[in-house]
Amino acid sequence: MDTTQTLAGTLKLERLEVNLFRGTTPDADQRQRIYGGQVIAQSLLAAYETVEARICHSLHCYFIRPGDPSIPIIFEVDRSRDGGSFTTRRVIAVQHGQQIFNLAASFQAAEEGFEHQAPMPTAPGWETVESDAELRRRQAAPREDEDWIDRNEPIEMRRVDGRLDVPAPEPREPNQQVWFRARDPIGDDPHMHQVLMAYASDMSLLGTAIRPHGVSWRTPGFQSASLDHAMWFHRPTNFNEWHLYAQESPSASGGRGFNQGSIYRASDGVLVASCAQEGLMRMKRAKS
């Protein structure tokens, strides 16, 4: 991504009609397919363009086909319901005349109510954990792709156990903790803080189910892809601040891995969002 551009700027949509929007892919020439978090974020942005004075509290989506980064994505919003307290929207993302993704989201007017939350788990402070950029430089194999090592990610991530995907990873427990935040200033719009957190929520979650099996995305013959994604926004937050993403995978079976994640604000331990995702994870069969 051009360092003169921010992620919020590159995700923005062009309005084509009242309920129709067009978006493009950042760094399209560097991608073979569209990153799942991008289409989640842009679909949520499209829904927000049709909602007034309400905040998203949950979204549920399915990845249907791989996205083509070389062409724009068309987002069509269905205004399902505008109720007294809740607003519901459905968004369909289309390329080459076919659905590649759909999202259903619910928005709520501000309301006071009962409150409780699970406590933030114990974790080393973000300032003591090596960044992904530093890990890539330190763990890179000889003659590694320099663009991969030095790429400027819009989301800053720090993995507590210091594990990156490598050609021959060792099996680990099916859980991980990641510190993350948006690198560039987002501004005061609470919608955009949700959108960028939704973008980031897909970056490491599927990898949790892969950890026990001693494989990575660089293992020959291994296939992985997000199948669905759900997210619940519990409380507003500033995603320019550090957050702890605590992830676990209770199950993998049938060529699929199931993952759950809880996002806590570092400054006060408040649980701001929860995620769940199922993803494809399989080894290709050798041709006979």
Write out pLDDT tens, residues 199-258.
999 999 999 999 999 888 888 889 999 999 999 999 999 999 999 999 999 999 999 999
Task: Report the distance separating Cα 275 and Cα 243, nearest Å.
Answer: 14
pLDDT tier for residue 281 given thresholds of 50, 70 and 90: very high
> Would 122 be classed as within a structural domain?
no
**Class of residue 188 by CB neighbours under 10 A (exposed 0-12, middle 13-18, buried 19+):** exposed
> Would 234 be classed as within a structural domain?
yes
Same domain, residue pair 58 and 136 = no
Number of residues that make up the chain = 288
Mean pLDDT of the chain: 91
Q: Read off the tokens for 191.
A: 């919608």
> Would 118 be classed as within a structural domain?
no
pLDDT tier for residue 146 given thresholds of 50, 70 and 90: low
The pLDDT of residue 285 is 73
Place of tokens 């806590």: 264
Same domain, residue pair 145 and 234 = yes
Domain that holds residue 156: 130-288
Higher pLDDT, 272 or 221: 272
Model's pTM, two decimal places? 0.92
> Would 66 be classed as within a structural domain?
yes
Same domain, residue pair 77 and 175 = no
* CATH number of the domain to which 226 belongs: 3.10.129.10
Q: What is the pLDDT of residues 93-127, one digit of tens each?
A: 999 999 999 999 999 999 999 999 999 999 999 99
> Would 214 be classed as within a structural domain?
yes
Residue 54: count other Cβ atoms within 10 Å of its Cβ. Answer: 17
Number of folded domains that form the chain: 2
Per cent of the chain over pLDDT 70 is 91
The pLDDT of residue 3 is 37
So which residues are the catalytic ones? 202, 226, 277
> Would 116 be classed as within a structural domain?
no
Same domain, residue pair 277 and 170 = yes
Same domain, residue pair 259 and 136 = yes
